[in-house]
Amino acid sequence: MPSNPTAPRTRRFVACAVAVAALWAGGTAAWARGEDDHERARQAVQAGQVLPLRTVLERLEREHPGQVLEVELEHDGERWLYEIKLLQADGRLLKLLLDARTADVLRSKRRDHNGIDGHRPPR
């Protein structure tokens, strides 16, 4: 059975998403899995490297209203990134990549109910 080289990265995304959700809710409990990721995310918020998720979502809601389906926080070696998936009122799925320090949209991808992709440059 071939190994999946992205599996550790996916687990890290999930752990960070859980950590971010905890930070957003104001909790500081360490999770049994992903404790290091949770701590790194908390320290990044405290150091001003990452905006709190609540702040990011409030800003995002003004230009991209929709129901948040998923949030991932990742450090790509240079900077922290939020990847956010939204379900918009018209039924489209919008996937956004944001600079976690500024909440600037770096990339967006939209998919309608027919599965058709549409790329939009950031504003």
Give pairs for 64-70: CB < 8 Å, separation 24+: 64/88, 64/94, 64/96, 64/105, 64/108, 65/89, 66/94, 69/93, 70/17
Residue 32 pLDDT: 38
3-state helix, strand, coil in the chain (%, to 5): 35, 30, 35
Share of the chain above pLDDT 70, in %: 63
Q: What is the mean pLDDT of the chain?
A: 76
Residue 122 pLDDT: 52
Q: What is the pTM of this model?
A: 0.64
- Give me the mean pLDDT over the 14-43 stretch: 55
Sorting pLDDT into bands at 50, 70 and 90, what band is 42?
confident
CA distance 71 to 14: 9
pLDDT per residue as tens digits for the range 3-27:
445 444 444 544 455 445 544 444 3
CA distance 72 to 121: 20
Residue 27 pLDDT: 36
pLDDT at 119 over 60: no
